[in-house]
Amino acid sequence: MKDSYTQIVNSTLGKKVAGALGLPQPVELRRYEPGQDLLKDQKVLLIGDDASDNLAETLLGWGLEVRRHPEAHTRYGAIIVDFTSAAQPSDLQRPALAVGSALRSLGSSGRVLVLGRDSTSGDTPELVATQAGVVGFMRSLAHEMRKGATCNLLSIAPGTATHSDAVTGPLRFFLSSRSAYVSGQPLTVGSGHAETPSDADHPVEGKVAVVTGAARGIGEAIVRRLSDDGAKILLVDVPGAGEALTKVANSVGGRALQLDITDPKAGQRIAEAAQQHYGRLDIVVHNAGITRDKTLANMDESKWGSVLAVNLASQLAMNRQLLDSGVLGSTPHVVSLASTSGIAGNRGQTNYAASKAGIIGMVSAMAQEFQKAGGTINAVAPGFIETDMTKAMPTVTREVARRLNSLQQGGRPEDVAQAVGFLVSDAAGCINGQTLRVCGQSMVGA
């Protein structure tokens, strides 16, 4: 759906009028295109101690120009600040203020990436408090970003080098235009096996994926993203969407499976279809979902039960069946679609919010099982995304919702698909049991 306001305020006259009236001035975000440079501006400011030297070498290997201290009259495409060695509150001051001194030099669609240290049970209260402070610093700084810039955090497990594959895959995602609508978000880099793809434009080359709810909307965007990124696709949707499903499947050279995912044997049928057509299954994307909105006082059994059955219970059952089926590859990656409604709640959506919060709990609870299987399970929580559902909203409500985030605009289905594409790649092999919000740092929720 077109955001006419954003287009207007990016015209010469529109900028002048919006500036004079103090109106929001969202910019056109730089989104991913194959073959584009990692950053719009190639200079990167890396703030940290000598331990950051190895990370600097990695950045240089990506063709970036690395600076270790702020320089006058320099435009940066990204600022990376390393707080991993911060153990006392006083350790935050110097690097934080160094970032501040360079912020005005950050270019449009720039990136600020904060590196922190994940806490363990043996850490001192001082260290835990300091690293919690890093999270607060990142979230607040993200609200100060301008010109389409974003700010995110990688919290790194002790003993994991900042230049290892475990870190560089997520780091590259956050620096790239694939994360255009992700801001103010922390991800923890834990244990597991991560591998940086040899071809950044095809990070899931040769993988086999299944996507539910694949006939339209965000599901269709995920299918097209994974296909463009190199995967073979098994597309699943209800029989009523059969014509649209077949059309999308044919356009990407995939296979269509008409299936009600609340069928008690849905997971087994998916496993059988994947085995028949492709011989295995590497990627599972649980996108299918429904809404049946009513205030709780007006909620009936069918509206409550159907939402929980489709959005949550079916995923739990399918995950169990797929784990038991033997069809999963050596590094299976599962991503479920949650929602910011599952984090912050939403009036008239007690059933939907319960189901989406349940997904967040599910991926956390099943992380260990998928790690034992050699893989991961995570969730993506979209915020305000421009879809047919948001198109039907009243105009004023829609405009307000668009501006209630740091980027002052709605996201696109492609933004959700890019986050899914990252989490199902081997580059994210050390990210497990987590939920990544794709919401432009919406003011609704954490």
Name 295's Cβ contacts closer than 8 Å, sequence gap at least 6. 347, 348, 350
Q: Tokens 């849905």 correspond to what residue? A: 266
Give the angle 98-102-104 at the CA atoms, nearest 5°: 145
Query: Three-state DSSP class for 174?
Result: helix
Task: Using alpha carbons, list the distances in angstroms from residue 85 to 43, 113, 187, 367.
Answer: 24, 16, 18, 28
Is 69 exposed, middle or buried (CB count within 10 Å of its CB: 0-12, 13-18, 19+)? exposed
Task: Using alpha carbons, list the distances in angstroms from residue 204 to 103, 209, 219.
Answer: 35, 9, 17
Q: What would the two tokens of residue 345 be?
A: 């709640």
Q: What are phi and psi of 287, to 5 degrees?
A: -105, -25
Show the DSSP H helices in 253-349 as ranges: 266-277, 301-308, 314-325, 341-344
Return the bridge partners of 405, or none: 442
Whole-angstrom distance, CA of residue 310 vs CA of residue 253: 27
The 10 Å Cβ neighbour count of residue 34 is: 9
End-to-end CA gap in the chain:
26
Q: Per this entry, what is the length of the chain?
A: 446
Q: What would the two tokens of residue 265 be?
A: 């044997």
Which secondary structure element, helix H or strand E, spans residue 391, and what is its range? helix 388-391
Q: Which of 76, 181, 278, 352 is catalytic?
A: 352
For the question of residue 352 being annotated catalytic, the response is yes
**CA proximity to 82, closest of 155, 191, 179:** 155
Whole-angstrom distance, CA of residue 166 vs CA of residue 190: 8
Name 292's Cβ contacts closer than 8 Å, sequence gap at least 6. 302, 303, 304, 306, 307, 351, 352
The 10 Å Cβ neighbour count of residue 11 is: 11
Q: Catalytic residue positions?
A: 352
